Amino acid sequence: MKKLNIGLFGFGVVGEGIYQVLSEKSQLNTNIKKIVIKHPDKQRNAPTELFSTEAEDILNDPEIDIVVELIDDADAAFEIVKTALNKGKSVVSANKKMIAEHHLELIELQRKNQVSFLYEAAVCGSVPILRNLEEYYDNDLLNYIQGIVNGSTNYILTKMKSENESYEKALKSAKENGFAESNPALDVEGTDAANKLSIIILHAFGRLVSPNDILKKGITALKNEDFIYAAEKGLIIKLIAGCALDESGNLTPIVVPTFIEKSKTLGLVNNEYNGVLIGSALADEQFLYGKGAGRYPTSSAVLSDISALRYDYKYELRKGIKNGFHGEYFVEKKFYVGFKPGQKLNKEIFQNIEESYQSKEYEYVTGTIRLSDLKNSGWLENESVSVISF
Amino acid sequence: MKKLNIGLFGFGVVGEGIYQVLSEKSQLNTNIKKIVIKHPDKQRNAPTELFSTEAEDILNDPEIDIVVELIDDADAAFEIVKTALNKGKSVVSANKKMIAEHHLELIELQRKNQVSFLYEAAVCGSVPILRNLEEYYDNDLLNYIQGIVNGSTNYILTKMKSENESYEKALKSAKENGFAESNPALDVEGTDAANKLSIIILHAFGRLVSPNDILKKGITALKNEDFIYAAEKGLIIKLIAGCALDESGNLTPIVVPTFIEKSKTLGLVNNEYNGVLIGSALADEQFLYGKGAGRYPTSSAVLSDISALRYDYKYELRKGIKNGFHGEYFVEKKFYVGFKPGQKLNKEIFQNIEESYQSKEYEYVTGTIRLSDLKNSGWLENESVSVISF
């Protein structure tokens, strides 16, 4: 088995976790040769001589086989990963934003340079969703993927439901527990989930979907009244990322708060956990579940990728890389739309209205809406309008 | 990509499923060249010229690359698989009994002949547990595996709980729905679960455990009173197969009815579904879930194995194949033991007794018991004694 020299970018929560584990596990036959960081003055739990602030100390070192990229900044990460691949180094990354935004280019670079680019940790932390989509579901016809893929928002929603906390308090608690970024906008606005969904879709269906084309609503517009409605109906609210593939080959990628029955599989996924349902023609519904955020779960996924590089594992993308989705939606779904009285919403986009409720404090309407109409309604971007899917 | 010629043994529920799918899916680039069956007079949904009753028509055909073995008889299956491997053919099998009983020999034959022997369908139907243990959990330190691995018993227990059916009626319903074998003894007595657990343990921990050495109790001794006890405490009864690995390297493989809280992950697994929890040092607890029995779920797993043979996939068993378990148990656990009044049970094996209940109709005791004592108690083999783990 190859002895691998690793160059590590970033020494945050996950980077330090990786360092710790690799130092303790000699059987992996790996060696962290250099760690590039931004702030040389911070106290670090590793020997000083390992650290550098110069990316070149890793990228220009021919003895380093693997670059593990774990920095926050997606643009800087892209430059590092691009250079590393072009220098014939394999790369492990957890940067979903960078990957979603440059997926095709990164895959081409991997092919051209005949190296591996692995990123299991970028999607659902420790849950091996990409590896399973690549290896195990490469022949069975997949019909849909549906999952809770963002640990931070799920943690917040769980707190809001079970401990009746306010959004602000739940977000604070998520940050304190290391499940939310210092700038949580990407999480709570659904962008992170859309990035992950975009990555999942390529591995599940062989289709390239830009996260910008995904119909998306985060959790910031959810109001207390929405949770009361859910509780009355015995439902819980989860931020669900999903994509169905119909018989004509149309995709329906969507990230939106969704009412889930408590007893349903996704209702089981609480706190920082992630879970993904995979619906297929033969195997019916399968479910993968595990911790989606935090030091060790993410480290676990990064380590699995490093370990796979020992035997030159690659994502083969056997389903191909087809284009063909540019934000066109053909189906309708049932939604709950909540808003403050006095807001003039164009309710005509409801194909039919099932319930309509007004009080002095709140109004809501439930009924089916064409996704194409919802996308153009302005409600997704409007922070005072709750949109929840059934 | 290689074009693969397949020889199929068995044309039962799964065999016919495989034939159907491969006939429809030309993209898999496979061809079923011959199907060997036992009863030539049965009506079959495939062209007559495909069928033969002579194993040699497959085994001696040099054009056949892959043998797919889907027959009931474990001894006959072993002869077929052995011959096929020795003739340089790769083999896909779903025969857990055969594999558990001859695991080491089959792996050696695979190595010696430089072919692949895959058997994902043998464990948990469509759930890719072996592939994940092999590929994804090859570096993270696993602490335990715990799962519902037998669809038939889980279907029966679900019916008994949710529809308050008698054991006999639930078993009949399981048979009618194709989730139980015509001879269900292997299922309901826990032998099937022990076989699967033995296979899982090799891939999870790199340890060879004979199913005969596994502490085991099926569901046949469960009585109505046990379900009443469970309901009173808000618990459900599941047949759980599990194995923990402690820091000294001791394994604790066990198959036994177990009380589960409804809200816990394994409480989600109902009817013919299977689910496996994987506990590891880094990723914490992960969960894989899907259909464990029936035509298409099993076909799905067989197809994934066939598909993997297109790129010469093999179980590498990177964790090794160590011996070292011969039925020695070092831990104690809490159990519920139920029995009819008048049965003289040696209650002295309870380390401590927490509850003790007597009525004219039934008695039960709860408390901790050393597993080594339980194994020698005679209670596991005694059909009139319920033993349920907490």
Q: What is the pLDDT of residues B111-150, one digit of tens each?
A: 999 999 999 999 998 899 999 998 887 666 799 999 999 9
Sign of the torsion angle spanned by Cα atoms B247, B253, B255, B256: negative
ipTM above 0.85, yes or no: no
Average pLDDT over residues B300-315: 89
Give residue B139's pLDDT. Answer: 62
Residue type, A253: P
Within an 8 Å CB–CB cutoff, is residue B282 touching chain A? yes
Residues of chain A under the 50 pLDDT cut: none
B302, B272, B303, B305: which is closest to B289 by C-alpha?
B272
Residue B136 with chain A: CB contacts under 8 Å: 128, 131, 304
**Residue B294: per-residue pLDDT:** 78
In this structure, CATH architecture of domain B129-292 = 2-Layer Sandwich (3.30)
Structure confidence at residue B29 (pLDDT): 80
- Which pLDDT belongs to residue A166? 83
Q: Is B386 on the interface with A (CB under 8 A)?
A: no
Of all residues in chain B, the percent with pLDDT exceeding 70 is: 98
For residue A364, the distance in angstroms to the closest alpha carbon of chain B comes to 31
Locus of tokens 């707190």: A159
- Judged by a CB distance cut-off of 8 A, whether residue A20 touches chain B is no
**Contact between chains at A140 and B304 (C-beta distance less than 8 A):** yes
Q: What is the spatial distance between Cα A38 and Cα A163, in angstroms, rounded to a whole number?
A: 38
**B183-192 confidence digits (pLDDT tens):** 789 999 999 9
Is the confidence at residue B1, as pLDDT, over 60? no
Amino acid at B280: S
d(CA A334, CA A357): 16
Residue B196 appears among annotated catalytic residues: yes
Look at residue A140 in the predicted model and tell me its pLDDT: 64
Q: pLDDT band at B310, cuts 50/70/90? A: confident
Distance of CA B36 to the CA centre of its chain: 25
- Residue A119 carries which side chain, given as an amino acid letter? Y
Gap between the Cα atoms of A326 and A198, Å rounded = 12
Q: Which residues of B are less than 8 Å from A296 in CB distance? A: 281-284
The position carrying tokens 């792996």 is: B107
Among the listed residues B196, B217, B238, B291, the single catalytic one is B196
Nearest CA in chain A to B282: A296
Name which residue leads in pLDDT, B26 or B13. Answer: B13
Q: pTM value?
A: 0.90
| B68-82, B153-167, B359-373: segment of lowest average pLDDT | B153-167
Q: Residue B156 half-sphere exposure, CB side, CA atoms within 13 Å?
A: 28
Question: Which stretch of B20-24, B94-98, B177-181 has the lowest confidence by average pLDDT?
Answer: B177-181
Contact B287 A285 (CB under 8 A): no
Residues B268-289: tens digit of each pLDDT: 899 989 999 999 877 788 999 9
| Measured CA distances, B325 to B146, B202, B214, B250, B380 (Å) | 18, 12, 9, 8, 20
| C-beta atoms of A304 and B280 within 8 A | no
Report residue B90: phi and psi, to 5°: -80, 155
Chain B residues whose CB is inside 8 A of the A118 CB are: none
Distance CA B280, CA B270 (A): 25
Nearest CA in chain B to A307: B139
Q: CA nearest B125 in A: which residue? A: A283
Q: Go through B156-184 and write b for each residue having 16 or more CB atoms within 10 A of its CB, e for each that does not.
A: bbbbbbeeebebeebbebbbeeebbbeeb
User: Which of A128, A137, A297 shows the shortest C-beta gap to B132?
Assistant: A128
Which CATH code is given to the segment(s) A132-291? 3.30.360.10
Mean pLDDT computed over every residue of chain B: 92
The domain B4-118: what is its CATH number? 3.40.50.720
- Contact state of A287 with B290 under an 8 Å Cβ cutoff: yes
Mean pLDDT of B201-225: 95
- The structural domains of chain A, with segments of one domain joined by +, span 4-118, 132-291, 331-390
Choose from A138, A274, A282, A310 for mutation: most chain B CBs within 10 A. A282
pLDDT given for residue A78 in this prediction: 97
Pick the CATH number of B331-390 from 2.60.120, 3.30.450, 3.30.565, 3.30.70: 3.30.70
Would B129-292 and B331-390 be classified into the same CATH topology? no
